[in-house]
Structure 1
Amino acid sequence: MSFSSIFARVVAWIGAGAIFIRHRSDGPLEQAFGAAPNIPPAKPQGIPTLKMPTAKGWAAGQTPLAAPGLKVNAFAAGLKHPRWIHVLPNGDVLTAEALSEPGGIRSAFDYAMLSTMKRAAAVGISPNRITLLRDADGDGVAETREAFMDGLNQPFGMALVGEVFYVGNTDGVLAFPYKAGATRIENTGGRKLADFKPGGHWTRSLLASPDGRKLYAGVGSLSNIAEKGMQAEEGRACIYELDLETGTSRIFAAGLRNPVGLAWEPTTGILWTVVNERDGLGDETPPDYLTSVSDGGFYGWPYCYWGKTVDGRVPQDPALVATALTPDFALGGHTASLGLCWMPAGTLPGFPDGMVIGQHGSWNRSTLSGYRIVFVPFEDGRPSGPARDILTGFLSPDERASYGRPVGVTIGPDGSLLIADDVGDAIWRVTGA
């Protein structure tokens, strides 16, 4: 075992021990889920809990566990850290393959964190490409694989509007001409629509408006709670609206620490997102969340969370705190909820209208959570019941290894549910059993 691995484990053990001491009289914590979650009081961590499973990958023939009445198969395997999925009108499936890149090390904890992230296959040399997958014979497995685009800069979000294909690189949004049925776009002559600051939370999700006139982009914060000052966070922790006719852009909603998945609720036409909340306050404090997004809305980061609950570690702005909106639905603490898509009733047997969420699983917990695909039912444009599992089994029972980690979710060309698994290097396909 290398020195870096030993050092990372020592720091993780110290952090876990500190959390155990703080929680030893609490008993098991109820997970903060739903519209009215029970969120424990904040317990700031001097040494943050650092716990992450070792990336193991899937053995031959092994798959995640589908909920009763469902089945799962590998739509594609042998990819390189696939994170996001976009389906083209002709049925081709695109997946963005990208990876976090090592950042600066300023402390012993940074060193331990980087070593742990490497062990978990969460950081390394990024593939920086988009791969095209085609299931021409309709058997639920992609037999064609093409390099659709390469030489990108940590690509993530993708959108097609008319004959223009948009890519959310970590440093901005690029537009390229696209012809129906094309299996490749050369990465030359791309037109830049917006510039974003790279680093920190690097993913840049994209979602076109139903009328094709606007593009929405999620941009996460640089840091956990603006430790480098608010000037470094300018233009971050927000959702942008890009006007494709005028080329202008504006911040549509702010105070969202890391808004990743974006989806439209079709009956109301309202934008929804899933957000990763801050670390260092406890296993369930605060929870990640699913929320509708109001034009001009402020959702609290970094000053407060779940409405107006103040984070005492942060220099305050009382005027902004007074405007903070409460999210709609809690998704559990540190679940790293990233993927989001609308799933119409009947897509999977027994499932009504609702949102599907890819919970990647996070590190700042004494007992791991996430590492699954969950479904939140909707009625009259709002969450209407408890969440239920679609896929589990990404994490070993002893929490020491992850076979996979789910990220992006979308409805496939054949009406199945597709899931990007970045540790498992696969795209999973879920249908009725």
Structure 2
Amino acid sequence: MLKHILRVAALLLVVGGALFAYLAWPDTAKIDIARVEGARPEITQPREQWLPTVKIAKVVGWPAGATPAAASGLAVKPFATGLDHPRWLYRLPNGDVLVAETNSPPRPASGITSRVMNFFLGRAGAGAPSPNRITLLRDADGDGVAETRSVFMTGLNSPFGMTLFQGQLYIADTDALVRVPYQDGETRITARPETVVKLPGGGNHWARNVVPAPDGRTLYVSVGSSSNIAENGIDQEKYRANILQVWPKEKTFRVFAAGLRNPNGMAFNPKSGQLWTVVNERDMLGSDLAPDYLTQVEFGDHFGWPWYYWGGYPDNRVEPKNPQLQEYAKRPDYALGPHVAALGLTFAADARLGDRWANGAFVAEHGSWNRKPVSGYKVVFVPFGANGFPAKGAKPVDVLTGFLDADGQAKGRPVGLVTDRSGGLLVADDVGNVIWRVAAR
């Protein structure tokens, strides 16, 4: 027995020493992140990692009176404070704003990998229990500050996306699309949610989003993968890494688009009427790969995950291979840079921030945990051209920065985006527990 204990202890020391050495010298970016942004990013050779680079911005919160820094010509102030992990936003027809106060469902710590991941999530501010609540915020006097709030809905399971459709409010829980009846002006819903369709839950990438399709009959629901590169088997990824098209009346769905590792924000381009999404790409190929992206999505598209990234670059770690897919893997339209964790997306159609911000898309970059130096932790604007796509040669333009302090600690992390009824841009800050409002000066 003693010999067994000594062998285990020696093994733990070796593994622990190797882990310490690895974390002390993580993979560092070799090119400027701007070279991995835009319509033609530089795709370097992958640097495969046995363990991911870990560079976590410890969450410290906002000092009293502090705010992010807005771009020239813009101003920022709190729209609502004192929230509990506000992650996603939806504006109701009367101007009220719904905020999903939510977080990942419990992650069982059954092994060393899950225990380490739970530690990292906690350090990044993502390990707290989910409030499982939707709160209603009302700015009745239009001064850009929500003077009233009420608990709108409870009894949900890590809720995220919300949308009104045919007189009902649809909520994307982590494991189901549900709905409740809604009447204009309601401030509290107590009805028990009705399940429309079950969604795959568990694993990584718990957040589900929902938007209504222009056909007036269906909804689009985004479902991220349960893993990094299907390392637990592709059979565990059924109906994941997908955007699903749901027929709520019939309670049926189909795969609309596939190969999207973690699609989150979805929005329709007001110029073209086409669906766009932002996607978090894969990990452990080094700090320069692979770029997260913004892209138009059409029925039948496959963006390559897990076998390919950026339109056909093979990920040699994935087994079994899928060579026949390579020529059909769609290249995304616009790279946002590696590991920025692009989550929020809204087009500028209803924003009144000035001409500079009139034609394009706002993207919230939640921020990296596995890149050196860190990336993201800001809201950016992607300028679009008259053709309904990002302008030729355009790079992301910073809209809201300053989420990291001088020591690299996170005061906040931006997630959901929506315009309010006055044309300001609202930004959900899920670890700062604030909703910020960006307006023209």
TM-score by length of 1: 0.93
1:351 to 348, 357, 373: 357
Matched, 1:193 2:196: yes
Whole-angstrom distance in 1 between the partners of 2:223 and 2:58: 28
- Note closer, same or farther for the CA distance 1:18–1:62 as it changes in structure 2 (3 Å cut): closer
How far 1:9 sits from its partner (Å)?
A: 12
Matched, 1:404 2:412: yes
Whole-angstrom distance in 2 between the partners of 1:346 and 1:15: 43
> In the alignment, is the contact (CA less than 8 A) between 1:238 and 1:254 conserved in 2?
yes
After superposition, give the CA deviation of every residue in 1:235-269 in whole Å (9 maximum; x if it has no partner).
10000111234332111000000000000012211
State the one-letter code of the partner of 1:47. L
- Note closer, same or farther for the CA distance 1:359–1:27 as it changes in structure 2 (3 Å cut): closer
Query: 1:424 matched to which residue of 2?
Result: 432
> In the alignment, is the contact (CA less than 8 A) between 2:33 and 2:338 conserved in 1?
no
> In the alignment, is the contact (CA less than 8 A) between 1:73 and 1:428 conserved in 2?
yes
Matching of residues 246-257 of structure 1 within 5 Å? 246-257=250-261
Matched, 1:95 2:102: no
Secondary structure in 2 matching 1:54 = coil
After superposition, give the CA deviation of every residue in 1:54-101 in whole Å (9 maximum; x if it has no partner).
111111110000000000010000000010000000111000011124
| Structure 1 consecutive aligned stretches of length 4 or more whose deviation exceeds 6 Å | 7-10
Matching of residues 140-179 of structure 1 within 5 Å? 140-179=144-183
Secondary structure in 1 matching 2:87 = strand
How far 1:303 sits from its partner (Å)?
A: 0.3
State the one-letter code of the partner of 1:285. L
How far 1:31 sits from its partner (Å)?
A: 4.3
Query: 2:12 matched to which residue of 1?
Result: none
Whole-angstrom distance in 1 between the partners of 2:47 and 2:260: 22
Matched, 1:332 2:337: yes
2:325 to 320, 326, 334: 320
Secondary structure in 2 matching 1:39 = coil
1:342 to 340, 347, 365: 347
State the one-letter code of the partner of 2:108. G
Whole-angstrom distance in 2 between the partners of 1:37 and 1:104: 38
State the one-letter code of the partner of 1:394. F
Matching of residues 4-403 of structure 1 within 5 Å? 11=19, 14-20=22-28, 26=30, 30-105=34-109, 107-188=111-192, 190-199=193-202, 200-315=204-319, 316-344=321-349, 347-349=352-354, 350-379=356-385, 380-384=387-391, 385-399=394-408, 401-403=409-411
State the one-letter code of the partner of 1:347. R
How far 1:191 sits from its partner (Å)?
A: 2.1
> In the alignment, is the contact (CA less than 8 A) between 1:290 and 1:331 conserved in 2?
yes
State the one-letter code of the partner of 1:378. F
How far 1:324 sits from its partner (Å)?
A: 0.4
Whole-angstrom distance in 1 between the partners of 2:16 and 2:218: 44
How far 1:47 sits from its partner (Å)?
A: 2.2
Whole-angstrom distance in 2 between the partners of 1:67 and 1:131: 29
Whole-angstrom distance in 1 between the partners of 2:74 and 2:127: 32
After superposition, give the CA deviation of every residue in 1:303-356 in whole Å (9 maximum; x if it has no partner).
010001000000211122231000000000000000001112862122231110
Secondary structure in 2 matching 1:44 = coil
Secondary structure in 1 matching 2:328 = coil
Secondary structure in 2 matching 1:40 = coil
After superposition, give the CA deviation of every residue in 1:203-236 in whole Å (9 maximum; x if it has no partner).
0111112353211111000000001101111110
Whole-angstrom distance in 2 between the partners of 1:8 and 1:345: 53
How far 1:19 sits from its partner (Å)?
A: 1.6
- Superposed CA RMSD: 1.9
> In the alignment, is the contact (CA less than 8 A) between 1:263 and 1:273 conserved in 2?
yes
Would you say how many aligned residue pairs link Structure 1 and Structure 2?
A: 421
Whole-angstrom distance in 1 between the partners of 2:118 and 2:24: 17
- Note closer, same or farther for the CA distance 1:195–1:335 as it changes in structure 2 (3 Å cut): same
Deviates more, 1:206-215 or 1:363-372: 206-215
- Unmatched runs of 5 consecutive residues or more in structure 1: 1-6
How far 1:124 sits from its partner (Å)?
A: 2.0
Deviates more, 1:243-252 or 1:70-79: 243-252
State the one-letter code of the partner of 2:23. G
> In the alignment, is the contact (CA less than 8 A) between 1:8 and 1:116 conserved in 2?
no
> In the alignment, is the contact (CA less than 8 A) between 1:42 and 1:285 conserved in 2?
yes
Whole-angstrom distance in 1 between the partners of 2:46 and 2:238: 26
How far 1:390 sits from its partner (Å)?
A: 0.6
Whole-angstrom distance in 1 between the partners of 2:367 and 2:38: 18
State the one-letter code of the partner of 1:423. V
- Note closer, same or farther for the CA distance 1:166–1:359 as it changes in structure 2 (3 Å cut): same
Secondary structure in 1 matching 2:23 = helix
TM-score by length of 2: 0.92
Whole-angstrom distance in 1 between the partners of 2:377 and 2:348: 20
Deviates more, 1:199-208 or 1:342-351: 342-351
How far 1:187 sits from its partner (Å)?
A: 4.3
How far 1:414 sits from its partner (Å)?
A: 1.4
Q: Larger Cα Rg: Structure 1 or Structure 2?
A: 2
How far 1:109 sits from its partner (Å)?
A: 4.5
Percent of pairs with identical residues = 48
State the one-letter code of the partner of 2:198. D
